[in-house]
Structure 1
Amino acid sequence: MSPIVADGLGLMAFGMGTVFVFLILLIFATTIMSKLVVKYFPEAAPVPAKAKKAPAQGVDSQLLKVLAAAVKEHRSRQK
């Protein structure tokens, strides 16, 4: 094997080793940072949203029947 090919292979191995070590360090760093964030900045408990009641006044019963029929027809066509 010629010296230039040996030098090329050595340089390739060094470069690939450097990238491999960097990626391993990156994995450890992100894992540690993730654990620190979870420990010191815990996620706040979600506040349940209050259910809004539809106003019973002013809603036309015929309109509700038409809407219910339209929804039922739409769902029957999807099957």
Structure 2
Amino acid sequence: MNTLVEDGLGLMILGMGFVFTFLVILIVATSYMSSLLNKYFPEAEPEIQAKKFAAPTPAPAGTVDATLTAVITAAIHQHRAKSQ
């Protein structure tokens, strides 16, 4: 029975060693391929285009559009009518 446990532990260590070695080789190969791609095929820098239109200016803080106020008031009124 003792040799069976020893064989099991030996097999486990051997298997874990193979998996660990494979993963290390995979990481090294992936890093190497990535560096090769970046060296021979660098990413193109994105072109910065000038703005054709000026940014819209925000409304002053104290003003509210009358149409917007009417729409919000109507929506609140409808919601309260449905809730009751």
Q: Normalising by structure 2, what TM-score?
A: 0.62
Q: Deviations over 1:10-65 (max 9, x none)?
A: 000001000110011011101100110001101111101220214xxxxxxxxx7x
Which residue is equivalent to 2:49? 49
Q: CA deviation at 1:69?
A: 3.9
Question: Identity of counterpart residues, as a percentage?
Answer: 56
| Poorly superposed stretches of 4+, deviation over 6 Å | none
Matched, 1:37 2:28: no
Unaligned runs of 5+ in 2: 62-84
Aligned residue runs from structure 1 range 1-79, under 5 A = 2-54=2-54, 68-69=59-60
The one-letter code of the counterpart of 2:27 is I
Aligned residues: CA RMSD: 2.4
Give the total of aligned pairs: 61
Which residue is equivalent to 2:77? none
Larger Rg: 2
1:3 and 1:17 map into 2 onto residues whose CA distance is 21
Q: Normalising by structure 1, what TM-score?
A: 0.66
Unaligned runs of 5+ in 1: 55-63, 71-79
> SS state of the match for residue 68, structure 1?
coil
